[in-house]
Amino acid sequence: MFRKILRISLVLIGSLIIYSSKGFAVDDPFIGYGSGGYNGKLMIFSIPGLESLKEISIGVDIHGVVSDGKDLFVVDKAQNILFVIDLSKSSVKKDIKLLYGFGPSSIAVSKDGKNVYIAGELSGKVAMVSIDSGKVVTVDLKPMPSSPNFITITPDGKYCLVSDYSNNRVLRISTSPFKLDREIKIRSPHGIAVTSDGKYALVSSKFSASLNIVDIKDFKVEKAIKTGAVPLNTVIDSKGAFAYQSQHGSSEIVKIDLAKKEIVGRFPVKYNPDNISISPDDKYLLSINKFSTGIYDKIYSNISDKGGIVTPQNMEVIEIASGKTIKQVAVSGDITDTIILSRGSVKDASLKGGGQFIKQGGKPDVSPKEGVKVSYMPADDRPPGIFDADDGAIEIRLKALSYIFAPNVVNVFKGDTVRFIITNIDEKSLYIDKPDVVHGFTINGFGKQTDVLLPRGVSAVMEFKADRKGSFDFYCSNFCGPVHHEMRGRLIVE
């Protein structure tokens, strides 16, 4: 009798959970899309409820998400591929190979969806890709080396605007003919948003702590507004009245009145936001927060039985009118970019509610591996360098710290078995006293063999064959702080 009652109660509780979670998602008017970074996924979720609707495994390190209203476009920074995703089915319908070593990090799409423009952070190039023919044309951002890591397009489609952190400049590139047109000096530029009338570009300057209002036609800074600490990204509402800028250092979103060109509000977030997006009705802000220190301690606490603390990043939805956080969830991966579309415009019956992002006690979700076994060992305290191991492998003992790899140039021969032993050696300073400052390690061109997380207290070990000659950039693939993008090095296979 008791068992029967228990069983009936469990069924009732179960159906209540399913009912309420389904109802919640159906009620949500918007759908958010996030490129998941190192988990290789496209994450699809409801707004404002932040219920997971679907996750699609696409590649290795997924960045940039834009839409022409029909399709979605994302890039794989580790594999140099542009993916086209059918919005009505939420599935990949086309992939276009970019150049060897291109290292795409950000994308923009023309209004008609015919051309996609891609910033090649690792190669210093910008590409124009014709979606129908798959033809790729590139321009070099001279003088090299340059590091274009953010790109956007003007509403008339005439120009792409690109941030280059290596040369402290923002470039204007004309789309027809596709060539470098003008440049302007802005210190440590990051995200760019363009007003809907196409007059102004709002450029975040990370280390000048400002929002630069750039007149696009004359291509000069009209005004720089001091906003916060380490501003990264900006969005503008649909009426062009207000802009919102994420302050990575001071953990807030700043609201700017564009007519008055002054700050009119501040929304605290937990913690250290990067990408932000706004719902089409201007009611909700979505903040991608890179650190969750103390909020989700029970999730990802140990990456392996050897230890190594990882805590997940999170997404936070703010209701703009009240300034209140209405939902916050832990997320898998390192979400790099997001967009929000209205539910009615997507029309995909395969998107269902009831999904959960991360369960308590869950493990971090990294992209699938090929031809390599990744393991973790207690932190390796031997000096860094390149050594011949007793078993014939080339052993590369690499140290990762904010914001460099040592050594940052690694030479091997084709055919070598390379064994990377990578250790996060960060100690206390700036952000680093947060236990969740975790680096990542991914080699462009060897993405399926690498793409690992590097928490403190353990060393990641991965062994694979260097089966191709060439120069391959490696980079930190998990957001670790203000200079995260600059944490790079090179594997040379001779």
- For the record, the structure tokens of 217 come out as 């036609």
487 near Cu ion, judged by CB under 5 A: yes
Nearer to Cu ion, 53 or 487 (CB): 487
Closest distance to Cu ion from the beta carbon of 477 (Å): 8
Cα–Cα distances in angstroms (integers) from residue 87 to residues 43, 96, 178, 277, in the given order = 13, 17, 28, 18
Question: If you ran DSSP here, which 8-state letter would residue 484 be given?
Answer: G
Nearer to Cu ion, 284 or 479 (CB): 479
Q: How many CB atoms lie within 10 A of CB 49?
A: 20
Query: Which residue in 315, 225, 209 sits closest to 261, CA to CA?
Result: 225
Instruction: Please give the full DSSP string across 165-179, using - where no structure is assigned.
Output: TTTTEEEEEEETTEE
Nearer to Cu ion, 31 or 487 (CB): 487
Closest distance to Cu ion from the beta carbon of 422 (Å): 11
Closest distance to Cu ion from the beta carbon of 45 (Å): 26
Query: Interface with Cu ion by CB under 5 A: which range of 26-34, 145-153, 327-335, 470-478?
Result: 470-478
- For the record, the structure tokens of 456 come out as 């403190």
Nearer to Cu ion, 151 or 476 (CB): 476
Q: List binders of Cu ion among 436-465 (CB under 5 A).
A: 439
Question: If you ran DSSP here, which 8-state letter would residue 304 be given?
Answer: B
Nearer to Cu ion, 398 or 487 (CB): 487
Closest distance to Cu ion from the beta carbon of 106 (Å): 18
Strand ranges, E, within 200-247 = 200-205, 210-215, 220-226, 231-236, 242-247
Closest distance to Cu ion from the beta carbon of 382 (Å): 21
Rg (CA), the chain: 22
Nearer to Cu ion, 339 or 437 (CB): 437
Closest distance to Cu ion from the beta carbon of 162 (Å): 23
Closest distance to Cu ion from the beta carbon of 476 (Å): 3
Nearer to Cu ion, 184 or 480 (CB): 480
Closest distance to Cu ion from the beta carbon of 439 (Å): 4
How far apart CA 48 and CA 58 sit, in angstroms, is: 25
- For the record, the structure tokens of 18 come out as 């399913």
Q: List binders of Cu ion among 52-81 (CB under 5 A).
A: none
Query: Which residue in 166, 67, 64, 77 sits closest to 124, CA to CA?
Result: 166
Closest distance to Cu ion from the beta carbon of 92 (Å): 29
255 near Cu ion, judged by CB under 5 A: no
# of chain residues touching Cu ion (CB under 5 A) = 4
**Which of 346, 480, 491, 493 is close enough to bind Cu ion by CB under 5 A?**
480
Closest distance to Cu ion from the beta carbon of 403 (Å): 6
Nearer to Cu ion, 54 or 206 (CB): 206
∠ Cα 164 484 313 (to 5°): 125
Interface map 210-229 toward Cu ion (x if CB under 5 A) = --------------------
How far apart CA 451 and CA 472 sit, in angstroms, is: 14
Query: Interface with Cu ion by CB under 5 A: which range of 39-47, 107-115, 155-163, 482-490?
Result: 482-490
SS3 state at 160: strand
Tokens 């591929």 locate to: 81
3-state helix, strand, coil in the chain (%, to 5): 5, 50, 45
Nearer to Cu ion, 332 or 477 (CB): 477
248 near Cu ion, judged by CB under 5 A: no
Which residues neighbour 182 within 8 Å (Cβ) at sequence distance 6 or greater?
171, 172, 219
493 near Cu ion, judged by CB under 5 A: no
Q: List binders of Cu ion among 411-440 (CB under 5 A).
A: 439
Most distant pair of Cα atoms in the chain: their distance: 81
Closest distance to Cu ion from the beta carbon of 401 (Å): 8
Which residues neighbour 269 within 8 Å (Cβ) at sequence distance 6 or greater?
246, 251, 252, 253, 287, 289, 316, 318, 325
Instruction: Please give the full DSSP string across 248-284, using - where no structure is assigned.
Output: TTTTEEEEEETTTTEEEEEEE-SS-EEEEEE-TTS-E
Nearer to Cu ion, 341 or 422 (CB): 422
Query: Interface with Cu ion by CB under 5 A: which range of 84-92, 127-135, 181-189, 481-489?
Result: 481-489
Helix segments in 38-104, DSSP class H:
none
Closest distance to Cu ion from the beta carbon of 271 (Å): 17
- For the record, the structure tokens of 378 come out as 């207690």
Query: Interface with Cu ion by CB under 5 A: which range of 92-100, 239-247, 271-279, 475-483?
Result: 475-483
Positive or negative: CA dihedral 410, 482, 187, 129: positive
Nearer to Cu ion, 214 or 480 (CB): 480
476 near Cu ion, judged by CB under 5 A: yes
Contact 303, 310 (CB under 8 A): yes
Query: Interface with Cu ion by CB under 5 A: which range of 94-102, 238-246, 367-375, 485-493?
Result: 485-493
Query: Interface with Cu ion by CB under 5 A: which range of 142-150, 214-222, 254-262, 468-476?
Result: 468-476
Is the bond into 177 cis (omega within 30 degrees of 0)? yes
- For the record, the structure tokens of 223 come out as 């005004």
Closest distance to Cu ion from the beta carbon of 269 (Å): 21
Question: If you ran DSSP here, which 8-state letter would residue 3 be given?
Answer: H
Query: Interface with Cu ion by CB under 5 A: which range of 41-49, 76-84, 181-189, 474-482?
Result: 474-482
Residue numbers at the binding site for Cu ion (CB under 5 A)? 439, 476, 480, 487
